[in-house]
Amino acid sequence: MEVVKITPRGYCYGVVDAITLAKRVARDPAVPRPIVVLGQIVHNQHVVDELAALGIRTLDGRESRQELLDRVPKGATVIFTAHGTAPEVVAEARRRGFHVVDATCPDVLKTHRLIAEKVKAGYTILYIGQPGHPEPEGAMGVAPPDRIYLIARPEDVDQLALAEDTPIAVTTQTTLSQWDTAAIIEAVLRRFPRAEVYNEICLATQQRQEAAVRAAADVDMVVVVGDPRSNNTNRLVEVVQKVAGKPAVRVGHADELDPAWFRGMRRVAVTAGSSTPTPLTRAVIARLETF
């Protein structure tokens, strides 16, 4: 079976910077201990384990960032993740005397700035994002609760208790796909025809999705390497299935590959989410090449 390696794939610059920053903090003897991360620094368990080996503890669970703050020991260093954090949570961490390190990706910070500017200019924000993911949680915290609404499906637009002449600005989570935001944006424009639309899907996400869709045209199946909690990994699977109309499967590592999935296939392509460490993807490619 031929294995096609899709490029670009894997780590984006925001993920590399966040991991590098956390490792630098771990090596700095002047930084107060313990060092904790509020949530997973990037959505990949292998990265979390690697940081744990350097003495960085990850506080994770179903709680919000604000709630996780209550579990931080006194005098600790708190690292905020690449997904971005609500300004009020960062301010609260400082009020509690924690040493704060912010690993937010610059592309996420750009969205935060856009939301703040638009709210100041009198707009109400419709933020297209995935409920329960930390990036929307951080972005929603940039605006007062009555000036920003999380939109996950086109139906959510009809349920908004807003006058039709409300000045609206639409923005998005960075790791969505242009294909699934399109229907929501259409629904917004139907109800608020003068809404301003700011597509904040980052370049790294777009390039990985477009490359996966292009490659999918010439193969029997696409394998996406990444963590089940990684939004951009799950979107890669989705765009291959929905846009290219080809089978796609997500695996966390090579051991999850089942030879039975590939029976009768001649060409399979491999890509990886932007938080997937390169050695994991290499191991998946190497295993596939033995099939």
Looking at the annotation, which residues are catalytic? Answer: 135
Give the shortest CB-231-to-ligand SF4 separation in angstroms: 9
Which residue type sits at 268?
V
Query: What string marks each residue from 4 to 43 as x (binds ligand SF4 by CB under 6 A) or -?
Result: --------xxxx----------------------------
What CA–CA distance (Å, rounded) separates 133 from 166? 27
| Nearer residue to ligand SF4 within complex by CB, 14 or 39 | 14
Residue 271 binds to ligand SF4 (criterion: CB under 6 A): no
Closest-CB residue for ligand SF4? 14
240 CB burial (10 A radius; 0-12, 13-18, 19+):
buried
Q: CA 164, CA 291: separation in Å to the nearest integer?
A: 58
Strands (E), the chain: 2-5, 35-38, 56-59, 77-80, 99-102, 124-128, 148-151, 168-172, 196-198, 221-225, 248-251, 267-272
**Taking CB under 6 A as the rule, does residue 79 contact ligand SF4?**
no
* Closer Cβ to ligand SF4, 107 or 238, answer by number: 107
Residue-wise DSSP of 230-263: -HHHHHHHHHHHHTS---EEEESSGGG--GGGGT
Asked if 174 interacts with ligand SF4 (CB under 6 A), we say yes
Closer CB to ligand SF4, 208 or 253, in the complex:
208
Task: Give me the least distance between CB of 84 and ligand SF4, in Å please.
Answer: 9
Q: Which of 171, 230, 274, 281 is the binder for ligand SF4 (CB under 6 A)?
A: 274
Give whichever of 90 and 176 is closer to ligand SF4, judged by the CB atom: 176
DSSP 168: E
CB within 8 Å of 193: residues ≥ 6 apart: none
Query: What distance in Å separates the CA atoms of residue 136 and residue 75, rounded to the nearest whole number?
Result: 28
Question: Which parts of 185-214 interact with ligand SF4 (CB under 6 A)?
Answer: 202, 204-205
| Subset of residues 98 to 117 that bind ligand SF4, contact rule: CB under 6 A | 105, 107-108
HSE, side-chain direction, 13 A CA sphere, residue 215: 26
DSSP string, 79-127: EEPTT---HHHHHHHHHTTPEEEE---HHHHHHHHHHHHHHHTTPEEEE
Determine if 175 is a binding residue for ligand SF4 (CB under 6 A). yes
Please work out the total of residues on this chain that contact ligand SF4, with binding judged by CB under 6 A.
Answer: 15
Q: How many residues does the chain have?
A: 291
Cβ pair 270, 281 in contact under 8 A: yes
User: Where along the sequence are the contacts to ligand SF4 (CB under 6 A)?
Assistant: 12-15, 82, 105, 107-108, 174-175, 202, 204-205, 232, 274
